[in-house]
Amino acid sequence: MGVFTFVCRSSGADWSAKQLTGDLEASASSTYELQRKLVQAALAADSSGGVTSSFSMVSPCSAVFQKETEARKNRVMPRPEIQAPPEIFYNEAEARKYTTSSRIIEIQAKISERALELLALPNDGVPRLLLDIGCGSGLSGETLSENGHHWIGYDISQSMLDVAREREAEGDLLLADMGQGLGLRPGVIDGAISISAVQWLCYADKSFHEPRMRLKAFFGSLYRCLARGARAVLQLYAENMYQSEMIMTYAMRAGFAGGVVVDWPHSSKARKAYLVLTCGPPSMQTSLPKGKGEDGEMCSDDDESGDDESQTVGIYDRNRPRKKLKVNKKGKGKEWVLKKKEQMRRRGHDVPPDTKYTARKRKARF
């Protein structure tokens, strides 16, 4: 409820209760109490000084009300990843709140449609077997079912999966931690999507959790279960550039080729990043798709449904890193030892002279 300024009109001059605000704010502990004291002050003046009792509401101009409003606007909710582990954060109440929000349902549907588009599945009418990693209550799985595909959903939250069963999700649901691997047979999956889930692997929720090892296990098992040439599209909200680099690094080490597609990079709210990975080496036929809105146009529903031909690319290509050179089993050799000794001499160190025994391997003795 807002705080109003009351104006009392007398025969001599007009006065405003707003003038009392500065004195009353110090003693008022809340907006409601300040409003009550303003009304009491106005009534007291009416009964004592021949002031006509005509009060008119002018505007909600209380300083306290403005301060509380600004504080409410500037309040930033912390990221779910730093509040609690996913199986704790998405409890029964949060799972039902998440699933009944019309705004979240709309956003999930749009992101899932975009992820399915980036999968670039053949348009031959044949249903594919897809993975939905971090499926939650099955909102993204509905998009897969509407397009005629079969899907398997992974999630670590029992409450989310219970809501998905109540909603009669068509996919198979598995309670599992993706950081421990997916555990599927090799080459049986035609594609995989993940909506706002992979960034959870960058946080150590338990004492034995190691984010790097969990990313390695996840991407390794994902690479094995995908068919040759299949894609995985992972939409994520990385907290910083370090997390993005770490996720990309372990994806490349697992054998994936691909990059990051950014939609609406100039918008703070509509910006979405998709990690598009291809199982196998890169080829000219499987080029990365285009990102939306990088040339600065405004984001709207019409823009999001427009053709990709009028939009530019927001991709950061990464190639699979080369394997490290094998270390020579014979050791570093005499040349290396002589070179290092010469460097030490130039630095002024006391180095033993070179002899025929320099860098000679000692005999094995008991």
Positive/negative CA dihedral, 321, 117, 198, 73: positive
Q: Report yes or no: 156 and 183 within 8 Å, Cβ to Cβ.
A: no
Say if 323 falls within a structural domain.
Answer: no
How far is the C-alpha of 38 from the C-alpha of 111, rounded, in Å? 51
Say if 114 falls within a structural domain.
Answer: yes
User: Strand ranges (DSSP E) for the chain?
Assistant: 6-9, 14-16, 55-57, 129-133, 150-155, 172-175, 189-195, 226-236, 256-263, 272-279, 315-318
- Tens digits of residue pLDDT in 85-108: 888 888 899 999 988 889 999 999
| pLDDT exceeds cutoff 50 at 121 | yes
Closest CA to 17 of 56, 68, 50: 56
Amino acid at site 182: L
Residues 34 and 100 in one domain: no
Residues 357 and 286 in one domain: no
How far is the C-alpha of 184 from the C-alpha of 242, rounded, in Å? 30
Question: For residue 44, what are the domain limits?
Answer: 6-74
Say if 246 falls within a structural domain.
Answer: yes
The confidence band for 295, taking pLDDT boundaries of 50, 70 and 90, is low
**Local structure of 115: helix, strand or coil:** helix
Check residue 44 and report its DSSP letter.
H
Residues 68 and 148 in one domain: no
Residues 38 and 101 in one domain: no
The residue to which tokens 């001499």 are assigned? 345
Say if 1 falls within a structural domain.
Answer: no
| pLDDT exceeds cutoff 90 at 115 | yes
For 66-111, give the DSSP string.
HHHHHHHHH--PPPGGGTS-HHHHS-HHHHHHHHH-HHHHHHHHHH
Structural domain count, the chain: 3
Amino acid at site 13: A
Say if 324 falls within a structural domain.
Answer: no
Amino acid at site 73: K
Say if 140 falls within a structural domain.
Answer: yes
Positive/negative CA dihedral, 199, 203, 209, 211: positive
Structural element, H or E, at residue 213: helix 211-225
Specify the pLDDT at position 164: 93
Residues 45 and 90 in one domain: no
Specify the pLDDT at position 158: 93
**Local structure of 302: helix, strand or coil:** helix
Residues 282 and 166 in one domain: yes
Residues 117 and 258 in one domain: yes
The total number of residues written for the chain in this structure: 366
Cβ atoms < 10 Å from Cβ of 273 = 18
Residues 186 and 46 in one domain: no
Residues 160 and 292 in one domain: yes
The CATH number assigned to the domain holding 126 equals 3.40.50.150
Say if 270 falls within a structural domain.
Answer: yes
Residues 110 and 222 in one domain: yes
Say if 217 falls within a structural domain.
Answer: yes
- Tens digits of residue pLDDT in 239-271: 888 999 999 999 999 999 888 998 888 877 888
- Higher local confidence (pLDDT), 78 or 67: 78
Closest CA to 120 of 231, 269, 263: 231
Q: Report yes or no: 50 and 14 within 8 Å, Cβ to Cβ.
A: no
Residues 232 and 310 in one domain: yes
